[in-house]
Amino acid sequence: MKAPPFAYVRAATLADVFRLWAEAGPDAKLMAGGQTLLASLAFRLSDPGTVIDISRVAELFGTAQAGGAVRVGALTTHAELGAHELVRRHVPLLAEAVPLIAHPAIRNRGTIGGSLAFADPAAELPACCVALEATIVARSLGGERRIAAAQFFTGLYATALAERELIARIEFPVAKAGERATILELARRSGDYAMAGIVARAQVSGGVLADPRLVFFGVGDGPVLAGSAAAAISGKPATAQAIAAAQAALEADLDPPEDQHGSPQMKRQLARVLLARALHRLARPQEARAA
Amino acid sequence: MSTHIAGMGVDVSLTVNGERVTRRVEARRHLIDFLRLDLGLMGLHTGCEHGVCGACTVRVDGRIVRGCLVLAAALDGATVETIEGVSDSGEIRDLQEAFIARNACQCGFCTPAMLIAAADLLAAKPQPTRAEIREHLAGNYCRCTGYHAIVDAVEATARRRNGGAP
């Protein structure tokens, strides 16, 4: 279907964005890569009146290392994120996640800021941010605000962003020695939204998983931190017995809604399978992982 | 810098297949309608119009994108290459010949975008495995071939470009 009519304005600077946003009124939508917005306009799920194109706002670009973090500008495309040397070296989970996000043509245009702001419950990057304990740096006319990823996603397509506040950048802690993280998902077609997915992160030493952080996606109204399953595997090697205990504990962490992919029972089953695979993968000797 | 011409269209100037094009477009006009309806370039197709089928795959500034998920209004200054452009330049002639030889196009609806996506893979990865070919083309639907012949054609092109037998 064709999008409803709307006005289009383009901002070159953040000052432009806030001025145009104030002029356009509360229904206006920001467009970064447009990969979600334009699809939702085509479905007429959205009728924004005005689209404010922020894709050329210089302040929202750039990836750099600052202290113990890698800062990623909100307008970084998925393709750029996965290819960036700092990301590959210091936050390798993100490079592992990028090939799972949609298809190449969409990864060339979709942005990390857009993905986080839209907060699709089946999206990969929100779950990665929660697992990696990233900080989302929001910007409004009043200045900057730092929001921990675990507090950023507040519900179905809902975030902690206030009115006329946008994501400026995301800060990812540099991976520590011995830290491992992995992402797995199950989708009907490669690149489609996941039926269920997991991001798992832990300190691994001699096959023992310490400080595990397990985040599921596609099984709730946002990224779901599985605290009971993590507690069950914490300090243990990924033996069949320990994994079975984590799978049993996972039941209390999840309350998956039925969706177009299947029933809550099916989602729980997929989550259990993903949990086992992810824990095996984390605990595997490093040489085998590199192969 | 900002343009604010609500309801009156947006002026854009861009390069399409090497030619400078200046038009006033409705804000909601996506790139594929712009190419097909405003410029008469009918090679790429409007399929699902929400980013799933891949039939509108086109190059913007050297990278493949979904034409239905890009506003023409946002492309001021951009360089766009369509199937007409990459056909005329001869850039993908061998790939097109392989598609014909392997019967990789049947109804032809997905073919132009499939060629652009396949050319993108071969440029980045000259010797892809069959799994990599399938992965790269996973965003392009074909309802006729079952994909096998398409993967054959891309693989054969890679082999030939690397000096092997087709």
Beta carbons of B66 and B25 less than 8 angstroms apart: no
Measured in angstroms, the CA of A92 and the nearest CA of chain B are apart by: 21
Which residues pair with residue B12 across a beta bridge? Answer: B23
Measured in angstroms, the CA of B88 and the nearest CA of chain A are apart by: 22
CA distance A256 to A121: 11
**CB pairs A-B closer than 8 Å:** 112
Look over chain B and give the mean of its residue pLDDT values, rounded to a whole number: 95
Q: Tell me the CATH number for domain A61-173.
A: 3.30.465.10
> Which residue from A6, A10, A42 is facing B50, i.e. has the nearest CB?
A42
Query: Residue B36 has what DSSP assignment?
Result: I
pTM over 0.90: yes
- First CA to last CA distance, chain B: 52
pLDDT score for A291: 40
pLDDT score for B6: 55
Chain segment A205-227, per-residue pLDDT in tens: 999 999 999 999 999 999 999 99
For A132-144, b/e burial (b = at least 16 CB within 10 A) is bebbbbbbbeeee
Q: B20 touching A, CB under 8 A?
A: no
- Answer whether A5 sits within 8 Å of B7, measured CB to CB: yes
- First CA to last CA distance, chain A: 46
CA distance B65 to B82: 11
CA distance A88 to A97: 11
Structure-block tokens of residue A117: 């702001």
Closest CA to A276 of A192, A186, A189, A211: A186
Beta carbons of A197 and A224 less than 8 angstroms apart: no
Instruction: Give, in degrees to the nearest 5, the angle at Cα A61 between A190 and B72.
Output: 65
Check whether B165 has a pLDDT greater than 90: no
Chain segment B20-37, per-residue pLDDT in tens: 999 999 999 999 999 999
Contacts of A230 (CB under 8 A, 6+ apart): A212, A213, A214, A246
pLDDT score for B4: 52
Beta carbons of A176 and A203 less than 8 angstroms apart: yes
- Answer whether B63 sits within 8 Å of A108, measured CB to CB: yes
Confidence tier at B7 by pLDDT (50, 70, 90): low
> Which residue from A7, A11, A191 is facing B27, i.e. has the nearest CB?
A7
Confidence tier at A26 by pLDDT (50, 70, 90): confident
pLDDT score for B58: 98
Q: B10 touching A, CB under 8 A?
A: yes
Check whether A287 has a pLDDT greater than 80: no
Residue type, B30: H
For A79-116, b/e burial (b = at least 16 CB within 10 A) is bbbbebeebeebbebbbbbbbbbbbbbbbbbbbbbbbb
- Answer whether A51 sits within 8 Å of B30, measured CB to CB: no
CA distance B55 to B6: 30
Measured in angstroms, the CA of A34 and the nearest CA of chain B are apart by: 7
Q: A44 touching B, CB under 8 A?
A: no
Chain segment A89-139, per-residue pLDDT in tens: 999 999 999 999 999 999 999 999 999 999 999 999 999 999 999 999 999
What's the rounded mean pLDDT across residues B44-73? 97
Domains and CATH numbers, chain B: 10-86 (3.10.20.30), 92-161 (1.10.150.120)
Confidence tier at A30 by pLDDT (50, 70, 90): very high
- For an interface test with A, which of B2, B133, B134 has the most A Cβ atoms less than 10 Å from its Cβ? B2
- Indicate the domain borders of chain A: 7-53, 61-173, 181-285
Residue B55, exposed/middle/buried by CB under 10 A (0-12, 13-18, 19+)? buried
For A210-223, b/e burial (b = at least 16 CB within 10 A) is eebbbbbbbbbbbb
Q: Could you tell me the CA-to-CA distances from A224 to A19, A102, A130, A156, A163 in Å, in that order?
A: 36, 21, 9, 12, 25
> Which residue from B6, B76, B138 is facing A7, i.e. has the nearest CB?
B6
For tokens 């750099």, name the residue. Answer: A64
Q: A14 touching B, CB under 8 A?
A: no
Q: B70 touching A, CB under 8 A?
A: yes
Instruction: Give, in degrees to the nearest 5, the angle at Cα A198 between A184 and A225.
Output: 165
pLDDT score for A290: 47
Strands A224-225 and A208-217: antiparallel
Check whether A170 has a pLDDT greater than 70: yes
pLDDT score for A105: 98
> With contacts defined as CB-CB under 8 Å, which chain A residues touch B70?
34, 38, 109
> With contacts defined as CB-CB under 8 Å, which chain A residues touch B63?
79, 108
pLDDT score for B164: 83
Look over chain A and give the mean of its residue pLDDT values, rounded to a whole number: 95
Class of CATH domain A181-285? alpha beta
Check whether B88 has a pLDDT greater than 80: yes
Residue type, A142: G
Q: A260 touching B, CB under 8 A?
A: no
- Answer whether B65 sits within 8 Å of A109, measured CB to CB: yes
Beta carbons of A96 and A182 less than 8 angstroms apart: yes
Residue of A nearest to B1 (CA): A12
What's the rounded mean pLDDT across residues A255-273? 96
- For an interface test with B, which of A98, A101, A108 has the most B Cβ atoms less than 10 Å from its Cβ? A108
Confidence tier at B166 by pLDDT (50, 70, 90): low
| CATH T-level fold of A7-53 | 3.30.43
CA distance B151 to B98: 10
pLDDT score for B77: 98
CA distance B82 to B95: 15
